[in-house]
């Protein structure tokens, strides 16, 4: 590991840092000083905000782009839970938020550069983010993009080869500056031109956060956020749900399908039907809001229990329909306040058919539940 050197580098007599220059001998012209802008990919985490602070320290005007995806929302609690708008306000920079929805799902189904340990398409994902940053860069007349990426911090997307692939595929070669690790990389165009003083940049590598925490102290960042927990798509259990959805969905999954993946217990009943059972009151409320017209909403009414949604990816075979509903009711009652071999009343609702039915049923046993759990 190469630690970040907090001390000011020793300079030869003819070398000067940005702060050493008098106004008349700064190598950047007045015209350059007025127009030098950068676009930051801002997550709200510590690394990206440190990258912004390092650029502002060199007099660069920074605007930020924050990317949201169906799997990486700012409130998801999986590494993106930082309050990005508050961070942008604290940094005193303009923020543009971009949501990648259906186009992200299309990419996720068949990423050009494959998946990581789970269903995480890290290289293709970063390429989409770079494209959005490039669009904003061109729109505001900025010269380059900055990110909080640290060399070798993430195994799939933050190694030299991957970073080169991402830049090449987005036509951003030499236009992406990673201030935290810049001294370990080939100089960018703005460094080569002397617009950015390379000696003031970092040489952090790997997963240790010592260098970042030293920088946080230097810039007076109070209570720096913890290291990101990672994208939801790296989680093994969540990846299993995503894979199951792609394998059994007749067409491209909807954003509602993806939202359902994030909550509840999931059960694959057959190739075209899935049951989602709420785990607590908050999830029950969410399931009520996610329920679509074609879904069957199941809820015990004689005892406390969860809300469940039975969803079909195609129009159900009516010969199997009754059996699937019966199984869904039994699984729902398994997670209700019930005992074995007793009957309980359950309400089933289907908005499309304008259909409500009350049935009495027993719960299933644990073995049957495990046969269908995703």
350: helix, strand or coil: strand
- Residue 95: which residues within 8 A CB-CB, separation 6 or more? 42, 63, 64, 65, 66, 84, 85, 88
CA-CA distance, 334 to 341, in Å (whole number)? 11
CA-CA distance, 194 to 349, in Å (whole number)? 67
- What does the pLDDT read at residue 319? 78
pLDDT mean over 148-172: 94
**pLDDT band at 34, cuts 50/70/90?**
low
pLDDT at 12 over 50: no
* Strand order from edge to edge, sheet including 61-68: 94-99, 61-68, 37-41, 144-146, 176-177
Is residue 136 within 8 Å of 164, Cβ to Cβ?
no
Angle at 287 between CA 280 and CA 236, to 5 degrees: 75
pLDDT mean over 275-298: 97
- What does the pLDDT read at residue 77? 38
Summary count for the chain: helices (H), strands (E): 13, 11
- The per-residue DSSP string of 183-204 comes to GGS---HHHHTTSS-GGGS---
CA-CA distance, 133 to 50, in Å (whole number)? 18
Is residue 113 within 8 Å of 147, Cβ to Cβ?
no
Q: Which residues of 14-40 are buried (b: 16+ CB within 10 A; e: fewer)?
A: eebebeeeeeeebebeeeeeeebbbbb
pLDDT mean over 33-62: 92
Q: Look at 1 and 145; give whichever has higher pLDDT.
A: 145
How many beta carbons lie within 10 A of that of residue 246, not counting itself?
16
Counting Cα atoms < 13 Å in the Cβ hemisphere of 330 gives 19
pLDDT at 8 over 70: no
CA-CA distance, 104 to 248, in Å (whole number)? 19
Nearest Cα neighbor of 312 from 330, 295, 335 is 295
CA-CA distance, 38 to 136, in Å (whole number)? 10
Cα-Cα-Cα-Cα dihedral sign, residues 292, 293, 294, 295: positive
Q: What is the 3-state secondary structure (H, E, C) of 145-175?
A: EECCCCECCCCCCCCHHHHHHHHHHCCCCCC
pLDDT in tens, 238-249: 999 999 999 998
pLDDT mean over 195-222: 95
pLDDT mean over 56-71: 95
pLDDT mean over 286-306: 96
**pLDDT band at 44, cuts 50/70/90?**
confident
- What does the pLDDT read at residue 280? 97
Q: Look at 31 and 253; give whichever has higher pLDDT.
A: 253
CA-CA distance, 198 to 13, in Å (whole number)? 17
The domain ranges of the chain are 18-230, 263-372
Task: Give me the chain's average pLDDT, please.
Answer: 88
Helix (H) or strand (E) holding 355: strand 355-361
pLDDT mean over 351-355: 89
pLDDT mean over 310-333: 90
* pTM for this entry: 0.83
- What does the pLDDT read at residue 26? 46
pLDDT in tens, 90-149: 999 999 999 999 999 999 999 999 999 999 999 999 999 999 999 999 999 999 999 999
Cα 198 to chain centroid, rounded: 30
pLDDT mean over 286-297: 96
pLDDT in tens, 324-337: 999 999 999 999 99
What CATH superfamily is the domain 18-230?
A: HUPs (3.40.50.620)
Is residue 177 within 8 Å of 145, Cβ to Cβ?
yes
Q: Which residues of 340-353 are buried (b: 16+ CB within 10 A; e: fewer)?
A: eeeebebebebeee
CA-CA distance, 127 to 104, in Å (whole number)? 11
- What does the pLDDT read at residue 357? 95
- What does the pLDDT read at residue 19? 34
pLDDT at 231 over 60: yes
pLDDT at 297 over 90: yes
- Residue 123: which residues within 8 A CB-CB, separation 6 or more? 111, 112, 113, 114, 156, 157, 162, 165, 166
Nearest Cα neighbor of 316 from 261, 368, 271 is 271
CA-CA distance, 279 to 284, in Å (whole number)? 7
pLDDT in tens, 249-277: 878 899 999 999 999 999 999 999 999 99
- What does the pLDDT read at residue 228? 56
């Amino acid at each position: 590991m190469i630690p970040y050197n907090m001390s000011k580098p020793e300079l030869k007599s003819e070398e000067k840092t940005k702060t050493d220059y008098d106004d008349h001998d700064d190598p950047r012209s007045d015209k350059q000083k007025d127009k030098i802008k950068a676009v930051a990919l801002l997550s709200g985490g510590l690394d990206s905000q440190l990258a912004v602070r390092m650029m502002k320290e060199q007099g660069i005007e920074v605007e930020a782009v924050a990317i949201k995806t169906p799997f990486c929302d700012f409130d998801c609690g999986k590494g993106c839970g930082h309050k990005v708008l508050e961070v942008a306000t604290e940094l005193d920079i303009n923020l543009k938020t971009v949501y990648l929805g259906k186009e992200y799902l299309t990419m996720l189904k068949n990423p050009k550069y494959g998946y990581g340990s789970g269903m995480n398409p890290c290289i293709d994902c970063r390429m989409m983010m770079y494209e959005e940053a490039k669009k904003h860069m061109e729109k505001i007349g900025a010269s380059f993009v900055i990110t909080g990426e640290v060399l070798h911090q993430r195994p799939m997307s933050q190694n030299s080869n991957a970073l080169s692939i991402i830049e090449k595929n987005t036509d951003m070669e030499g236009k992406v500056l990673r201030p935290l690790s810049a001294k370990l990389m080939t100089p960018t165009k703005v460094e080569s031109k002397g617009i950015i003083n390379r000696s003031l940049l970092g040489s952090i590598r790997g997963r240790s956060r010592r260098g970042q925490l030293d920088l946080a102290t230097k810039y007076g960042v109070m209570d720096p956020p913890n290291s990101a927990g990672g994208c939801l798509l790296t989680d093994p259990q969540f990846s299993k749900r995503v894979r199951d959805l792609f394998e059994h969905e007749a067409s491209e999954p909807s954003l509602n399908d993806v939202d359902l993946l994030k909550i509840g217990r999931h059960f694959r009943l057959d190739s075209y039907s899935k049951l989602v059972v709420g785990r607590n009151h908050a999830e029950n409320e969410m399931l009520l809001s996610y329920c679509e017209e074609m879904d069957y909403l199941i809820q015990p009414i004689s005892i406390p229990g969860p809300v469940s949604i039975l969803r079909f990816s195609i129009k159900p075979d009516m010969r199997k329909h009754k059996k699937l509903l019966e199984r869904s009711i039994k699984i729902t009652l398994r997670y209700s306040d019930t005992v074995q071999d007793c009957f309980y009343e359950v309400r089933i609702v289907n908005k499309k058919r304008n259909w409500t039915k009350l049935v009495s049923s027993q719960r299933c046993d644990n073995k049957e539940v495990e046969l269908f759990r995703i």
